Amino acid sequence: MSIRFFCSLWSKKRGKHLANSHLFTKLQTDCGKKPPFQNQTINLNTKTMKVYQTNEIKNIAILGNDGAGKTTLTESLLYEAGIIKRRGRVSQHTTVSDYFPVEHEYGYSVFSTVFHTEWNGKKLNFIDCPGSDDFAGAAITALNVTDTAILLLKGAAGVEVGTQNHFRYTEKLKKPVIFLVNQLDDENCDYDRILEQLQEIYGSKVVPVQYPIKTGPDFNAVIDVLLMKKYSWGPEGGAPTIEDIPADQMEKATELNKALIEAAAENDEGLMEKFFEKDSLTEDEMREGIRKGLAMRGMFPVFCVCAGKDMGVRRLMEFLGNVVPFVDEMPPVHNSRGAEVKPDVNGPTSLFFFKTSVEPHIGEVMYFKVMSGKVHEGDDLTNIDRGSKERMAQLFCCAGQNRIKVDELVAGDIGCTVKLKDVKTGNTLNDKNCENRFDFIKFPNTKYTRAIRAVNESDTEKMMNALQKMREEDPTWQIEQSKELRQILVHGQGEFHLRTLKWRMENNEKIQIQFDEPKVPYRETITKAARADYRHKKQSGGAGQFGEVHLIVEPYVEGVPTSEVYKFGGQEFRINAKSEEVVNLEWGGKLVFINSVVGGAIDARFMPAILKGIMQRMEQGPLTGCYARDVRVIVYDGKMHPVDSNELSFMLAGRQAFAQAFREAGPKILEPIYDVEVLVPSDKLGDVMSDLQGRRAMIMGMHSESGYEKLSARVPLKEMSSYSTALSSLTGGRASFSMSFASYELVPADVQQKLVKEHEAEEADN
């Protein structure tokens, strides 16, 4: 009995359908165990696929707002290309994308999915990206390693905040964009309104290639104004019926065809001349003009599909195969030294690893792009980031959870491998003649933070290892062990982002965790000068301890010199600085330490000990225990004992004298302030502004941007703790925001009083 047949019987017995197979050369799990995913089997077929050359490869990212139908489109693309024999359904958890248990649990994409299709002698590599802004890192990564973006829009919603965000990423990275209106069978779909919206936001570069004859449940036909044909489908979709354009649609089609020809001609001088001569272009000339327009972002074609019914997908594939730029037609990337790296198959081998996936029974699956040269099974390469040697034992082309063995991949292609020893996301592997390193992926700042702890304290180390492993899969998770706050912090993109982490930790790693409110990294400083002295004296039989320190503290302001005379309580103190040490504090700000002791009252060898004592107190401010900053300390006098004075004595004396002076120097608490930008629909602007003002925000300005309002504000970090959740609730998920550190500012008096009381109560309990 074959393994596959046995697995089939096993699946029927359990009443489950097992979909398309992994093509691994080694059986990863025996049939007596539950397969790693519900719709997965292991296929021992070792047939390898064709090796495609650089001028036959196209790399495409699939983007769009959450719920736009990207996963469903992926199924139809794979089905039309013959990679799968039956289209899976999101509701049944049988899709090539969204195959991880956490994605089944929550019903939305968490990870990007890499897959390929072969179409008319060309290889199309796709990366299907999550739509939620919480998983923006996947979209940014995909755009950095692909050359064209398909941006899906829901037929009933049109341009959404996710559309806007993803378009901005393409704009920043100068990537071509194809707009794809999906779900045309939705009863609320209004294609003309969507097209008008796109052109209003993104300008005349938006040019329709297709339009539906009608939308809603009866949708079944489009007019293609590039080919000037009518495409219609039966209830099951698939292969279209291609006919001449009906008479009642000819006028509209001709008008849009002329607009498309003009848009294609605008991107090439030669085509422009032909257009002026003939007032038209051939089909091939139009394709050439559109290709150049795409590459230069001179035009954004609009296509129509109903991915759920497989209508229009085959025609989309034809366009992608015939018109979208090849890898070698796009601008080359630059390595970390700024040198161009072209996708040259004859160049030195260089691989960039952009994604890690940890899969049960398989381990780490590492996804890479061949930046130059070619890679074969068995090649030995060097990890330029870690200095280690790696052997590429197996190479695969990707099809979601399915993988197809390949002997070689060339410049511009995307593939994956397993069982590497020491490769992390973002690493570069080179052959011996190459020293490329790539660091072109820049992730957004985090905007949601929680303190994390294992419910069972003994699981803490195991939890940390799991967190580091998860960060390999999603670099937008940031893990911080904060000495200052005495918490382990997880920084992410939003509540959903961290919710998936918790689910995976508890269900995959079997570690129960707790999220707590993160403490705020306040700072303490002073607002005026003050003086104090302290004598540390201890006698206990033998040698004693003695040290006396007199010092002055004042606020440190860049560029303001030290005074020569200070007055306290009618007494004058003259300062004659003998030495000055500026300490750049690792938590921000400065400590300036001045030795102004005269007459040998304190030996110079004790000055480092005094500074050490002051630094210890700076790390635990007198008001709230938070770090202190921006203080100038002048040690001007003191006393020693010929026998009992030592470094410990002066460290303790300096520490206590500083604490006393700090309390008398008008101490204030500073809080971190963040620059916040909110992209919000106009009808929700008032609600969002009111909410921000309730968070002590200072509104800095607002302006319209691509159909939305962009609101800029400065907000205390304390008030941003759950902002992503509140914003989503206020706007029905239609807004997004970003935040970045701006400065430290004084907290209001009532807030300071509350913080000091809370710290005093905490100290009393301890």
Mean pLDDT, 10 residues at a time, the chain of 766 residues: 37 35 32 34 50 95 92 91 81 72 73 91 94 90 96 94 92 96 95 94 94 95 95 90 95 94 86 76 86 93 95 95 92 92 95 89 89 95 94 90 90 94 94 91 92 95 93 91 92 91 92 95 96 90 86 94 91 92 94 93 95 94 91 96 92 96 95 95 92 95 84 95 90 89 94 91 79
State whether 392 and 410 are in the same domain: yes
Q: Does 583 lie in the same domain as 481?
A: no
Name residue, tokens 């920043």.
172
Residue 766 located in a structural domain: no
Confirm whether 760 is domain-assigned: no
- Render 39-94 in DSSP notation, one character per residue: T--EE---PPPPPPPGGGEEEEEEEESTTSSHHHHHHHHHHHTTS-SS---GGGT-
State whether 177 and 308 are in the same domain.
Answer: yes
Residues 642, 679, single domain; the answer is no
CATH of the domain at 387: 2.40.30.10
Find out whether 76 and 236 touch, Cβ atoms under 8 Å: no
Indicate whether 443 belongs to any domain: no
Same domain, 60 and 87: yes
**What CATH number does the domain containing 278 carry?**
3.40.50.300
Reduced to 3 states, what is the DSSP secondary structure of residue 188?
coil
- Together in a domain, 539 and 633: yes
Report the C-alpha gap between 449 and 482 in whole angstroms: 12
Q: Let me know: does 105 contact 319? Beta carbons within 8 Å.
A: no
First to last CA, the chain: 69
Q: Tokens 């006919």, residue?
A: 243
Tell me whether residue 437 is in a domain: no
pLDDT the model gives residue 17: 33
Q: Would you state the pLDDT for residue 694?
A: 94
In a domain, 442, yes or no: no
At 725, give phi and psi (nearest 5°).
-70, -45
CA separation, residue 67 to residues 127, 142, 150, 154, 474 (Å)? 16, 19, 15, 8, 21
As a whole number of angstroms, the distance between CA 763 and CA 766 comes to 5
Residue with tokens 């848009």: 263
- Sorted by sequence, the CB contacts under 8 Å of residue 205 that are 6+ apart come out as 263, 297, 298, 299, 300
Q: What is the pLDDT of residue 98?
A: 65
What integer pLDDT is reported at residue 490 of this predicted model? 96
Residues 536 and 501 in one domain: no
Could you count the other beta carbons within 10 Å of the beta carbon of residue 458? 7
Residue 24: CB partners within 8 Å, gap ≥ 6? 42, 43, 362, 394, 403, 405
Domain range spanning residue 715? Answer: 669-751
On the CB side of 276, how many CA atoms lie within 13 Å of its CA? 6
What pLDDT is attached to residue 43? 35
Report the alpha-carbon distance of residue 155 to residue 219 in Å, rounded: 12
* 579-584 β-sheet, strand order: 530-538, 545-555, 631-639, 590-595, 579-584
Q: Is residue 607 domain-resident?
A: yes
Angle, alpha carbons 675-680-684 (nearest 5°): 120
Q: 701: closest CA among 710, 692, 688, 693?
A: 710
Cβ contact 445:109 at 8 Å:
no
Domain-ending residue, one of 462, 496, 519: 519
Provide CB contacts within 8 A for 597, sequence distance 6+. 578, 635, 636, 637, 638
Element (DSSP H or E) covering residue 249: helix 247-265
Q: What CA–CA distance (Å, rounded) separates 111 from 545?
A: 62
User: From CA 148, how far away is CA 124, in angstroms rounded?
Assistant: 11
Contact 287, 321 (CB under 8 A): no
Q: Does residue 119 lie within any of the structural domains?
A: yes
Same domain, yes or no, for 638 and 685?
no
Q: Measured between alpha carbons, how far is 452 from 469 in angstroms, rounded to an integer?
A: 16
HSE of 115 in the Cβ direction (CA atoms, 13 Å)?
30
Instruction: Using the 3D structure, point to which of 398, 430, 462 is the last residue of a domain.
Output: 430
Whether residue 170 is found in the same domain as residue 277 = yes
Domain total in the chain:
6
Domain boundary among 659, 690, 718: 659
Q: Are residues 406 and 354 in the same domain?
A: yes
DSSP, collapsed to helix, strand or coil, labels residue 676 as strand
Q: Is residue 757 part of a domain?
A: no
What CATH number did the domain enclosing 561 receive? 3.30.230.10
Are 485 and 562 contained in the same domain?
A: no
CA dihedral sign, ordered 292, 294, 296, 300: positive
Q: What is the pLDDT of residue 60?
A: 97
The values of phi and psi at residue 677, to 5°, are: -120, 125
Let me know: does 365 contact 36? Beta carbons within 8 Å. no
Question: Residue 541 gets which letter from DSSP?
Answer: S
CB burial of residue 688 (10 Å; 0-12, 13-18, 19+): buried
Q: Is 18 exposed, middle or buried (0-12, 13-18, 19+ CB in 10 A)?
A: buried
User: Is 531 found in the same domain as 643?
Assistant: yes
- Two tokens, residue 162: 């996710």
Q: How far is CA 432 from CA 148, 368, 378, 481, 733, in A?
A: 32, 19, 15, 38, 50
What is the C-alpha separation between 275 and 266, in angstroms, rounded? Answer: 9
Q: Secondary structure of the chain: what % helix, strand, coil (to 5)?
A: 30, 30, 40
